[in-house]
Amino acid sequence: MPPTPEKLPGAVCLMKQSPEEAHSDDESTVCSSDVAISRKAISFAVPLSEYLPSLLPATEPETELSRQVVSFAVPLSEHLPSLLPATEPETELSRQVKVKSYQRLQAPYWLATMLAQEDANVALRMFLLDNSGSTSTYDGHVVEEDGDGNLMSTSSTRWEEICAVAVDQARWSAFAGVRSEFHLLNPPCPLGTALGTCRYLQEGRDFVVIDSKSGNAEAQVEALCQFLRINGPRGAKTPLSTALQQLQEWRLHPTGLNGRRIMLSIITDGQVSDQVATFSDSSGHARYAYKQTKTEVAKQKQDVARQKKQQEDQSKSQYVQQLRAFASTWNAFVVIRLTTDEKSTVDYFNAIDKELELPVDVVDDLPGEAQEVYSAGNGWFAYTPMIHRMRERGCTLERLFELLNERTLGLSEIVKFMELFFREPDEKPFPRHPAKLLTLAGEINARSAPVYDARLDKVVSPLNIKQLKKALRLTPFERMKSMGKRITRTITGSSRPARD
């Protein structure tokens, strides 16, 4: 772990290092309430004030230096290319340490191994938290423990659900040693405002960093909790396009990526609205204006609906363009985590998912996603909070997690999924034969503890044997379907085998 500067009341110390001091044990510190970068993270060849204008107190009288600071027209990332941690060569020892970390978080061995391999290819995980005014709506869902330690789904506001997801992901990142950033969609001091201090994204004010290598993990998670408590729902917009653009300009830089991926999870409750509506609906008062006919009132309503549709289409188009640019420029994988039950919003983002030929996955809340997975033909396993957590973070090494709510998994995919969660470290690979796999599933249930199933909202066996038999096509009905396909291939002379 890199050296940690001494903490002062109300501030943190930032160490700087010039090329001449590179091999010296002397360290000089500068105190700032905004930024904390370790000596290992960055080396300065010129005065620190030229790189970090935010270190100037807002109340200081204007000086020549402050006037020069205002003239900066390039993003902060141009001056701090080391915001992304440098690539550290992975060793067998470091990999095993990471695997043990995930196992301590209750991840099974082979799942922990996959996550450790993926972390080596991820430069940064970013979470964009929607705190627009609509998140105060009371139709969210959070999973909590009751007095006996059992999990249960309870109702909440959308913002409470967003906070629960953020804190849960932060704890995983902290204790697994994965650097993550949590950004507000509507920060307290938006960029581009008339306020002179809002010229760049500022840590602690606009976002929080979780990185156990640079400080105490538990303290960082608590700082995030406090950050979320004081930044509740605000604003009438959901400026997702603007937020994506600002993240690229102010928090990302090619230096430090080295081919690694950016993982972005957007936790939101609504459709994109980067602009405040400029139209007005006066039809509600039209009935009091006796000079207006019913035809004129109806035409007004149609005009308002048409303008609203045009504005929504424009926002959606801008959002698609920003997603495309973000994913392609930064080799990014994007998860859109929805916190609403509104069908129009779900359909809206699902349409975006289908339109983009990019790595984007749309995930519903825990109960809703559990039902979608079941409806897709994958109800043969209990949909647990851990599975949902993996999907909220995005898993690029195994596309199985993306497919769960899209279609029924085939035989080889079922085997691979079962191995991730139920295969012991020294156990041989699971059989690829349906009947043998079904027998093994019964043994797995016998040796495994019950788990919480979000669809049923209760504790059950980890595998549903009846549904697994159906997925493996071992029921009489499924065997008849397979036989019918074979007969059809024989008649048509096709040699193409049936898909799993």
Q: How far apart are CA 452 and CA 459, in angstroms?
A: 4
Highest mean pLDDT out of 34-43, 270-279, 438-447:
438-447
Among 13, 32, 54, where does a domain finish? 54
User: Which pLDDT score, from 0 to 100, does residue 280 have?
Assistant: 46
Give how far the C-alpha of residue 452 lies from the chain's centroid of Cα atoms, to the nearest Å: 23
Are 141 and 265 members of one domain?
yes
Are 133 and 49 members of one domain?
no
Task: Assign 254 to helix, strand or coil.
Answer: coil
Within a domain: 296: no
Query: Which of 112-121, 287-296, 446-455 is predicted least confidently?
Result: 287-296
DSSP summary character for residue 120: T
pLDDT at residue 68 is higher than 70:
no
User: Which pLDDT score, from 0 to 100, does residue 270 have?
Assistant: 76
Residue predicted with more confidence, 256 or 153: 153
Task: Assign 107 to helix, strand or coil.
Answer: coil
Beta strands 122-129; 180-184: pairing state:
parallel
Backbone angles phi, psi at 80, to 5 degrees: -125, 70
- pLDDT by residue (tens digit) across 2-20? 444 333 333 333 333 333 4
Query: Which of 374-378, 473-477, 490-494 is predicted least confidently?
Result: 490-494
Within a domain: 479: yes
Instruction: Give the domain extent around 469.
Output: 421-492
**pLDDT, mean of residues 267-289:** 57
Are 202 and 329 members of one domain?
yes
Are 14 and 129 members of one domain?
no
Within a domain: 388: no
Q: How far apart are CA 423 and CA 77, in angstroms?
A: 44
Q: What single letter denotes the amino acid at residue 251?
A: R
CATH number at residue 265: 3.40.50.410
Are 328 and 184 members of one domain?
yes
Domain count, the chain: 3
Q: Supply 109's token pair.
A: 């061995």
Among 348, 363, 378, where does a domain finish? 363
Are 20 and 167 members of one domain?
no
For residue 71, with 0-12 CB atoms within 10 Å meaning exposed, 13-18 middle and 19 or more buried, which class applies?
exposed
Within a domain: 476: yes
Instruction: Give yes or no for a contact between 261 and 123, defined as CB atoms under 8 angstroms apart.
Output: yes
Within a domain: 288: no
Are 192 and 319 members of one domain?
yes
Are 233 and 321 members of one domain?
yes
**pLDDT, mean of residues 320-343:** 89
pTM: 0.74
Q: How far apart are CA 135 and CA 147, in angstroms?
A: 28
Q: What single letter denotes the amino acid at residue 110?
A: W
Are 170 and 24 members of one domain?
no
Please report which confidence band the pLDDT of residue 319 belongs to, taking 50, 70 and 90 as the band edges.
confident
Are 193 and 319 members of one domain?
yes
Are 428 and 359 members of one domain?
no
Are 223 and 351 members of one domain?
yes
Please report which confidence band the pLDDT of residue 494 belongs to, taking 50, 70 and 90 as the band edges.
low
pLDDT at residue 478 is higher than 60:
yes
Q: How far apart are CA 439 and CA 242, in angstroms?
A: 53
pLDDT at residue 298 is higher than 90:
no
Helix, strand, coil tally for the chain in percent (to 5): 45, 15, 40
Within a domain: 359: yes
Within a domain: 13: yes
Within a domain: 261: yes
Q: Supply 347's token pair.
A: 């359909």
Residue predicted with more confidence, 457 or 480: 457
